[in-house]
Amino acid sequence: MSRILIIEDEEAIAILEKDYLELSGFEVDIAGRGGEGLDKAIQEDYDLIILDLMLPEINGFEICREIRQRKDLPIIMVSAKKDDIDKIRGLGLGADDYMTKPFSPSELVARVKAHLERFNRLTGLNSRKNDMIEIRGLKIDKTARRVWVNGEETPFTTKEFDLLTFLAENPNRVFKKDELFREIWGMDSVGDIATVTVHIKKIREKIEFNTSKPQYIETIWGVGYRFRI
């Protein structure tokens, strides 16, 4: 069954869309806020996303850009203003389709089906293998952004995943905290190197058997961290 995520803050619209899609046999989740929508889109495994443009916290432009950097799946953008649709096209964000509100739910269902069929055809042709990292009991699927610790799937936030993957891809090298902060959060981010410490702690709680004797991420006192293989 195909899974669809609706990121939409107008509850009545989201529920109407959900009802119609479920009647057509889809499994549907709703996120009413931008941040929640982005987290779900990245962390969970959806087949298609219906994305409203004007949302609380993070707008649809930004969400579309973020999803595109990490995932390959159809995105249908929705807006109340025709002008916005032109803007979305102009920005080249990589949305697969655009719809102006109000639209009929059956029109939406038809487009969803068409995009899923097209996408499945394309990916079926070059059925790509997922990009995996495996180190002892730790397995990271970079394509699906999933992590298993000793065979058990463990949820990671976006930044925890990025930090863990970066370290695991650059093993046996010592990184200073500020280097890691720049690498994962970027120069213009709000925050400081304490953010790195907090994230390392959370990652260790998830992957280490004994966090005071870490077998993966070592602390190099006064310098930073090193991923050991």
> Which residues bind to Ca ion, rule: CB under 5 A?
9, 52, 54
Task: Name the residue number minimizing CB distance to Ca ion.
Answer: 54
Smallest separation, CB 57 to Ca ion (Å) = 12
In sequence order, what are the residues at sequence separation of 6 or more whose Cβ sits closer than 8 angstroms to the Cβ of residue 174? Answer: 220, 223, 224, 225, 226
Residue 15 or residue 54: which is nearer to Ca ion going by CB?
54
Residue 29 or residue 141: which is nearer to Ca ion going by CB?
29
Residue 9 or residue 183: which is nearer to Ca ion going by CB?
9
Residue 54 or residue 135: which is nearer to Ca ion going by CB?
54
- For residues 28 and 18, the answer to whether their CB atoms sit within 8 Å is yes
Q: Which helix (H) or strand (E) holds 51?
A: strand 48-52
Smallest separation, CB 110 to Ca ion (Å) = 22
Pairing of strands 146-149, 152-154: antiparallel
Residue 47 or residue 52: which is nearer to Ca ion going by CB?
52
User: d(Cα 108, Cα 102) in Å, to the nearest integer?
Assistant: 11
Question: Which pair of tokens denotes residue 92?
Answer: 């080249």
In sequence order, what are the residues at sequence separation of 6 or more whose Cβ sits closer than 8 angstroms to the Cβ of residue 85? Answer: 77, 79, 98, 99, 100
- For residues 59 and 78, the answer to whether their CB atoms sit within 8 Å is no
Rg (the chain; Cα; Å): 20
